Amino acid sequence: MNLRASLSNRIESDSDEALVMRARDGDYAAFEMLFERHRALVYRFAYQMRGRRDDAEDMVQEAFVRAYQNLNRYRDEAKFTTWLLRIVSNLCTDQARMSQRRTNLEQKEATAGLDWMTIGEFENPIENLEQDRRKGLLRKAIAGLPVHHRQMIVMRDIEEREYNDIAEVLGITIGGAKLRVLRARRALRVRLAPLLEETNLEGRIK
């Protein structure tokens, strides 16, 4: 076997698809290679969605556990990273729903006299430098979006993923992905406008 053929076989044996096949057959070391290769991608995506390092780290662990448990459901026609991000996306949606339920419960209890439950420390979005101030407002606006809009902003505008990749992650058409991104951007502009007006007004008062 010549050097080129040997190198080609080694590259193919180290591909995501080959590692998945080996992991399905019980080769846990192969799955560890997938974890090391893609954990940064999963962490970055989870952090942009959740905004907290601890939450993102927990989600990395949960996503790979679910991936390992469901390797038999992975189909080779999709990229492994696309399938993996779909798992993370579903986890983000589930956690957002749980958070919303907790928030609703706290609000109900607060109206019954437990005001202390909803009082916390809030970061001031107005930074000393104009650029940092706008970044802070943008982060706040994104965090306040519904999870399905936040998902689009993170994947397209922060992660800079192609529309076909987004479509594969969500299981929709490319046209559907473009429409969802458009709606998410509109929602972000609507949410960002009053924040900018508010801080501009504060600046004038000072």
Q: Quote the longest CA-to-CA distance of the chain.
A: 78
Full pLDDT tens readout for the chain, 206 residues:
444 444 334 446 688 889 999 998 889 899 999 999 999 999 999 888 888 888 888 889 899 989 998 988 887 767 899 999 999 988 888 776 665 555 554 454 444 433 433 344 434 433 444 667 777 788 888 888 888 888 899 888 888 888 998 988 888 888 888 998 999 998 888 888 777 766 554 444 34
Q: What is the pLDDT of residue 191?
A: 85
**Residue 5: which residues within 8 A CB-CB, separation 6 or more?**
none
- Residue 52's pLDDT is 81
**pLDDT of res. 10:** 46
CATH class of segment(s) 123-206: mainly alpha
Supply the pLDDT for residue 34.
93
Q: What is the pLDDT of residue 77?
A: 64
Q: Can you give the residue ranges of every domain in the chain?
A: 1-120, 123-206
Second-level CATH architecture of 1-120? Orthogonal Bundle (1.10)
Query: What number of other Cβ atoms are within 10 A of residue 148's Cβ?
Result: 16
Amino acid at 10: R
CB-based contact 30:19 (threshold 8 Å) = yes
What does pTM read for this prediction? 0.57
